[in-house]
Chain A
Amino acid sequence: MVPLSYYLILSVIVFFIGAFSFLTRRNLIMMFLSIEIMLNSVNISLVALSHYMQDIRGHILALFVIALAGGAVAVGLIILVLAYRNRKTIKLEDFNLLREE
C-alpha cells in the first residue's frame, strides 16, 4: 500500500513544475498548458485524498475541475486566436499597449 504522503508529494512537485513553467515561459499557448499541468496536479491530490479518506467528494470535485478546465481552455484559446489575428504574435511581451515605453 502506497502511503498518502507519496501522492501528495508527487502532486506538489508537478504543481510547482507547472508554476515554474507559467512564470518563465513567455508564450501564451505554453502558459495555458502550464495551467493545465497545475490543475492536473490538484486533481491527483484530490483523488488521492478522497481515496484515503474513504469519501467520494474528492472525485466529484475532480470531475468538476476537469469539466471546467475544458471550458476554460476553449475560452482561452478563442481569446488567443483573436489576439493573434489582431497582433500577429502570441508572445506575452508583444502585448504591451498599456505599458509606458
Chain B
Amino acid sequence: MVKIIFGYFAIVIIASALAGITRKNLVYSLCWILLMFIHIGGLYLLLNAEFLAMVQLIVYAGAILVMFLFVIFLLNLKEEIKEAVFIHKWSSRLYGIIFLIFFAFLGVWNFKNNFKGLYSIEFIEKEGHTKIIGTVLFNEYLFPFLILGFILLVPLLGVGIVALRRKTNGTT
C-alpha cells in the first residue's frame, strides 16, 4: 500500500517537473511546478515529517511561487513569455546530464545505511514531530537559527530599498 502511494507521488513529481520545465508559457510552468511542490509535501507526510510538509506547502507553494507569479504579472511579460525557440543547444547538455546521472546512480547503489540515530520513528510518533523539531532546533541549532533570522532580514531591507528608490525617482 505504501509502495503504491509512493509510486503515485514519484510519478506525479517527475511528470510535473518535466512538464514544468518544458512549457513555453511561464504561468503554465508555474502551475505544473506548484503541483510538484504539493506532491513533495505529500511525500514528506509519507516520511512522518508532517510539520515539514506543512512548511513546504506554506513557504514554497504559498509564498515563493506566489512571488514568482507576482513578478511575472508585475513585469507584464505577456509578449515575452511566448518565445519561439526556448530551449537552446539542448542535446549536448542532455548527454552531459545523463552522464552525470550515471555517476549519481552509482553513488546511490553503493550507499550503505549503517547508522542509527536517537530519534526512532516510534519516538517521533509518540512525541509529535513539531515538538521534537522545536526542541532540537532551539537547543542544538540555536546559533544557526539566529543567523538564519539575520539572513532573512536582508530581503526585507532589500525590498524596502527598491520600493524607496522607485518613489524618489518618480519616473517609472
Query: Which A residues fall within an 8 A CB radius of B?
Result: 1-2, 4-10, 12-21, 23-27, 29-30, 32-34, 36-37, 40, 43-44, 47-48, 50-57, 59-60, 62-64, 66-71, 73-75, 77-78, 80-82, 84-85, 89-91
Contacts and interface: CB of A to CB of B under 8 A. Distances in A.
Given A25-B86, A84-B75, A90-B77, A18 B17 contact: yes
B10 interface: yes
A84 to B, nearest CB: 5
Secondary structure class of chain A's binding surface, majority of residues = helix
A59 B60 contact: no
Interface string B5-27: 01000100110011011000010
B47 A25 contact: no
Bin the interface of chain B by size.
35 or more
Contact of B26 (A4, A30, A36): A30
Leading 4 A-B pairs by shortest Cβ distance = A55-B117, A74-B155, A21-B21, A12-B104
Contact of B43 (A44, A60, A64): A44
Contacts of A81: 71, 74-75, 162
A12 B10 contact: no
7 contacts: A19-B97, A20-B94, A56-B133, A60-B136, A63-B137, A71-B154, A78-B155
Contacts of A1: 2
B6 A5 contact: no
Contact of B109 (A5, A23, A44, A67): A5
Contacts of A2: 2-3, 6, 46
Interface string B86-119: 1111100110110011001100110101011111
